[in-house]
Amino acid sequence: MMEKDALKQARETINRVDAEMAALFVERMEAASEIAAYKKAHGLPILDAERERQVIAAGSERVEDDTLRAYYVDFLKNTMAVSRRYQQRLTEGMRVAYSGTVGAFAYIAAERLFPDAAKCAFPDFKSAYDAAENGDCDAAVLPLENSYAGEVGQVTDLLFSGSLFINGTVQLPVTHDLLAVKGATLADIKTVVSHPQALSQCDAFIKEHRLKQVVYENTALAAKFVAEQGDKSIAAIASGDSAALYDLSILAQGVNRSQMNTTRFAVLSRAEERQISTKAGAHFVLLFTVRNEAGSLARALNIIGAHGFNMRTLRSRPMKELLWQYYFYVEAEGNIHGYEGKCMLEELAVCCDKVKVAGSFV
C-alpha cells in the first residue's frame, strides 16, 4: 500500500512540475520572440553559438548531481533547439515540405494551402515527412489517395510508423498532359516518362500510341528531365504548369483516363489540432492492429459503429517487418475527441494491439 502511495505522490509531483514548466515555457518563448524581432531588425543570425555555450555552462553549474547534470545539459540543448525553430518561424515565415519540385501536384497543393509560406522541395515522401517530423519544416503536404489509382501506400505507412498528425486536406483535380520539347510532334514520341501513378492513370493513351514507359520520381521532375534531354522522342506526363516552367510544348491535353481524376492531399504537422474535431463535417483517421484471433477485426469495427461513427474508408496494409501481418486504416465521420470517441478508444485498446489517432480534418 505504501508503494502505491509513493507512486501516486511521485506522479502528482511530476504533474505539478509539468504545469509550472508549461507556464515557464510560454514565458521563455515570449522572450525568444522579442529576441527574434531584435535579430531580424539588426540582421543577426538566429544561431548564436557562443551565447548557447554560455547558457549551457551556467545551467550545468546549477545542477549538483553529476548524473543529472548530463541530462540537464541535453534538456537545455533541446530547449534551445526549439527556441531556434520558433525564432526561425518568426523571422523567415512558415516552411512547408512537399515531395517533388516546383510544378509538381504536391507543390500546387502546398501553394493553394499555404500561399505565403516558403515551399521546401524533397526528393521523396519520406524525406518531406521527416523534415516536418524533425522540425526543419512546420508542415508537410503529401498525397493520401487518388480517385483513380487509390491510396498512396508509402504515405499511409508513414502515418502508421511516424508521429505526425493530419490536420487538414485539400482535393486537387488532376489533369495530365503530354509534354515534349519545342518542335516535337506526337508522331515523334516513342518513350513517355512519369510517376507510376500518372502512368497508370494514362494507360489507355499510352497503349493507343504504343509508347515505352519509364518510371520517374514524380511528374514535375519527369518534365524537367525531358527538358534537359532535349530529345524529341521523349515526352513527360505532367501538369500544364510544368510545361510553362520548363519551356515545353503540350502535345496532348487531358491524357488521363478519367476526367474526374482527383488527388487528396493531407497537411501533416507535429501537433494535433484538436479543435478541428469539433467542427461540423469533421473526419478522423484511425490506424490499428488487431490480435491474431478469430473475430478480432469484426469486434474492432463493431466498436467503431456502436459509438455512432460512420466509416467511410477501411483498408489494410502489410506490416513490412512482420511477415503476413497487417495494420488497418479507418477514416470515419465524427468527433474523435468527444465523449463517444474517448469511450470508443478505450474499448479498442482492449481488443487491439495498437491504436493510433492519426488526426482530424474537415
**Contact in structure between 338 and 279 (CB atoms under 8 Å):** no
How far is Cα 67 from Cα 137, in angstroms, rounded to an integer? 34
Domain ranges for the chain: 2-92, 94-174+256-271, 178-253, 273-362
Task: Using pLDDT thresholds of 50, 70 and 90, give the confidence band for residue 14.
Answer: very high
Mean pLDDT, range 179-197, rounded to an integer = 95
pLDDT digits (tens, 9 = 90+) for 294-335: 899 999 999 999 999 999 999 999 988 788 889 999 999 999
CATH fold of 94-174+256-271, please? Answer: D-Maltodextrin-Binding Protein; domain 2 (3.40.190)
**Range name among 17-31, 99-113, 273-287, 291-305 with the lowest pLDDT average:** 273-287
How confident is the model at residue 93, as a pLDDT? 80
What value does the mean pLDDT of the chain take?
A: 90
Give yes or no for residue 208 having a pLDDT over 60.
yes
How confident is the model at residue 313, as a pLDDT? 94
Give yes or no for residue 135 having a pLDDT over 80.
yes
How confident is the model at residue 308, as a pLDDT? 94
Cα→Cα distances 177→153, 173, 199, 307, Å: 24, 13, 11, 46
How confident is the model at residue 282, as a pLDDT? 86
How confident is the model at residue 323, as a pLDDT? 83
pLDDT digits (tens, 9 = 90+) for 243-288: 998 999 999 999 988 778 899 999 999 988 777 666 777 899 999 9
Task: Using pLDDT thresholds of 50, 70 and 90, give the confidence band for residue 125.
Answer: very high
Mean pLDDT, range 26-39, rounded to an integer = 88
Task: Name which residue leads in pLDDT, 85 or 314.
Answer: 314
Mean pLDDT, range 196-202, rounded to an integer = 89
How far is Cα 212 from Cα 253, in angstroms, rounded to an integer? 19
Task: Using pLDDT thresholds of 50, 70 and 90, give the confidence band for residue 127.
Answer: very high
Domains 94-174+256-271 and 178-253 share a fold: yes
For 331-354, give the DSSP string: EEES-TTSHHHHHHHHHHHHHEEE
How confident is the model at residue 89, as a pLDDT? 80
Q: And the C-alpha cell for 108?
A: 500546387
Task: Name which residue leads in pLDDT, 123 or 275.
Answer: 123
pLDDT above 90 covers what percent of the chain?
A: 59
Residue with cell 510517376: 195
Q: In what order do the strands lie in the sheet with 177-180?
A: 212-215, 191-194, 234-238, 177-180, 249-252
Instruction: Give kind and range of the element (H or E) at residue 98.
Output: strand 95-99
How confident is the model at residue 42, as a pLDDT? 66
CATH fold of 2-92, please? Answer: Chorismate Mutase Domain, subunit A (1.20.59)
Give yes or no for residue 355 having a pLDDT over 90.
yes
pTM of the model: 0.74
How confident is the model at residue 192, as a pLDDT? 98
CATH number for 273-362: choose from 3.40.50.300, 3.30.70.260, 3.40.50.12280, 3.40.50.1400.
3.30.70.260
How confident is the model at residue 356, as a pLDDT? 95
Q: Which amino acid is at 282?
A: A
In terms of CATH, what superfamily is 178-253?
A: Periplasmic binding protein-like II (3.40.190.10)
Residue with cell 469539433: 278
Give yes or no for residue 43 having a pLDDT over 70.
no
